[in-house]
């Protein structure tokens, strides 16, 4: 075969692309798994490369590697991270359940580059993989990549969304709208109260995600094949976590029980569950925005979202709420990802979970999707929407549910009669109440003042 070279592993010889940095085991995975043509996420590969650098540093400290080989491995890893490293990682997501193919892909690529830097052979198994097994490095990488994704992407994005909502709440505080329960008219609320409710939902999600970080930053590394630590230095786990913390500026620690961290993916399942909860919050906010924006004539028309693109290929002038729609689709995808992770989490058979790659893919996908959509929702929907005050006032003046405020004075039954009459005749509730009670207009104006009726929830 032209443009290939011969590589060898424990199973024999095979052809590898001539310019490829990887070797035989990666090529076998490429040949064996032409399934989705999707590679492992870049965030995962980045974390795996960082883990290899941390392992080399720890092994040099513990005299398991020579300083020259350790430095070559670290320099090779850092060089990869500074370039387009994903071109060297072709292994499909759907591969061996332990992620061994991706681990050997990293070992082979880094060994090739380290050998070139050092001028002598650096072995992918004996040197780059020193003190490690796929069974602990891949669970470790799942935790590391997800922790970095939360620290660097999702948590800052959610904080930004909260800040934008809270600024907008101050801006729209003067506006009072018809509240709705069951999508039906209810008592009035301030527009700011609606937004403050969203902000509090998001703050709760942020808090729950932060609560999970200590578990996520607890690593399986050092457990090697089954959790016993075979072939790893007794101090390797501590040294690895210390070196990785230095490289990432995130505090990682050795797991308290490595059998649990290798045999299960309970932490990933828990994190995914909270990502799903965050997706549900975003879905609620997105749908509230869509409903309030509906119309502009035949819908609620309470707000006008920023027009970003034409909404129809056939209906001129139509503009759709595209950012909330995209956010709702993200939420649906994250909910689906969580189902996949839940099923995969059940595949912890004895001493190893065997669906690690798909857990990594879905977990990191959820983090990235939520982070990106949160920023778009903040900047291109919430920050820029305009309030349609005339529409709000028109709906409020005709809202018969305002009569609820009269219940303590005239009783529920009498108030219901007034509400039904006002609705049937299409008249303001204050006019009907004036005819059916002994209250004066000035008294009714005070009792039915929408601004006063919103005070209880502040």
Give the whole-angstrom CA distance, residue 227 versus residue 352: 9
Give the whole-angstrom CA distance, residue 191 versus residue 314: 34
> Of 66, 246, 312, 440, which residue is the catalytic one?
312
According to DSSP, the residues that pair with 189 across neighbouring strands are 177
Residue 177 DSSP SS3: strand
Query: Using an 8 Å Cβ cutoff, are 123 and 193 in contact?
Result: no
| DSSP state letter for 156 | H
What stretches of 150-189 show up as alpha helix (H) in DSSP? 155-172
CA angle, corner 326, sides to 336 and 345, nearest 5? 15
Largest CA distance in the chain: 100
| Radius of gyration, alpha carbons of the chain | 30
> Of 2, 10, 182, 313, which residue is the catalytic one?
182
Q: Smallest Cα–Cα separation from 448: which of 412, 396, 413?
A: 396
Give the whole-angstrom CA distance, residue 233 versus residue 231: 7
Is 312 an active-site residue?
yes
243, 71, 223, 345: CA torsion to nearest 10: 80
Active site residues: 182, 312
């Amino acid at each position: 075969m032209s443009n290939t070279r011969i590589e060898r592993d424990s199973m024999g010889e095979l052809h590898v692309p001539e310019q490829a940095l990887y070797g035989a085991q990666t090529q076998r995975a490429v040949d064996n798994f032409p399934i989705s043509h999707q590679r492992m996420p870049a965030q995962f590969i980045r974390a795996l490369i960082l883990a290899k650098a941390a392992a080399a540093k720890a092994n040099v400290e513990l005299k398991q590697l020579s300083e020259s080989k350790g430095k070559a491995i670290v320099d090779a890893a850092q060089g990869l991270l500074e370039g387009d490293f994903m071109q060297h990682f072709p292994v499909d997501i759907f591969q061996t359940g332990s992620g061994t193919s991706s681990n050997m892909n990293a070992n082979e690529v880094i060994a090739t580059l380290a050998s070139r830097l050092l001028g002598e052979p650096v072995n992918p198994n004996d040197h780059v993989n020193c003190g490690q097994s796929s069974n602990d490095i891949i669970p470790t990488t799942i935790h590391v990549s997800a922790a970095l994704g939360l620290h660097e992407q999702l948590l800052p994005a959610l904080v930004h969304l909260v800040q934008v909502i809270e600024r907008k709440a101050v801006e729209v505080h003067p506006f009072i709208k018809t509240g709705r329960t069951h999508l039906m008219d209810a008592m009035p609320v301030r527009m700011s109260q609606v937004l403050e409710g969203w902000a509090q939902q998001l703050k709760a999600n942020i808090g729950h995600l932060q609560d999970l970080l200590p578990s996520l930053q607890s690593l399986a590394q050092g457990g090697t094949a089954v959790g016993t630590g075979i072939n790893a230095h007794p101090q390797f786990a501590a040294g690895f976590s210390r070196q990785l913390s230095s490289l990432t500026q995130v505090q990682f620690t050795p797991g308290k029980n490595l059998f649990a961290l290798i045999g299960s993916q309970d932490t990933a399942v828990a994190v995914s569950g909270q990502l799903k909860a965050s997706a549900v919050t975003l879905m609620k906010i997105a749908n509230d925005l869509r409903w309030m924006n509906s119309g502009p004539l035949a819908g609620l028309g309470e707000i006008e979202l920023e027009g970003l693109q034409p909404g129809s290929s056939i209906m001129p002038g139509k503009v759709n709420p595209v950012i909330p729609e995209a956010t709702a689709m993200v939420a649906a995808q994250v909910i689906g990802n969580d189902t996949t992770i839940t099923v995969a989490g059940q595949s912890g058979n004895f001493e190893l979970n065997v669906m690690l790659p798909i857990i990594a893919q879905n977990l990191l996908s959820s983090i990235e999707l939520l982070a990106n959509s949160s920023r778009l929702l903040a900047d291109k929907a919430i920050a820029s929407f305009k309030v349609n005050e005339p529409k709000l006032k028109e709906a409020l003046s005709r809202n018969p549910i305002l009569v609820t405020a009269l219940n303590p004075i005239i009783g529920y039954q009498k108030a219901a009669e007034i509400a039904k009459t006002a609705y049937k005749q299409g008249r303001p509730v204050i006019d009907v109440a004036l005819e059916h009670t002994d209250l004066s207009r000035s008294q009714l104006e005070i009792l039915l003042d929408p601004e006063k009726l919103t005070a209880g929830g502040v």
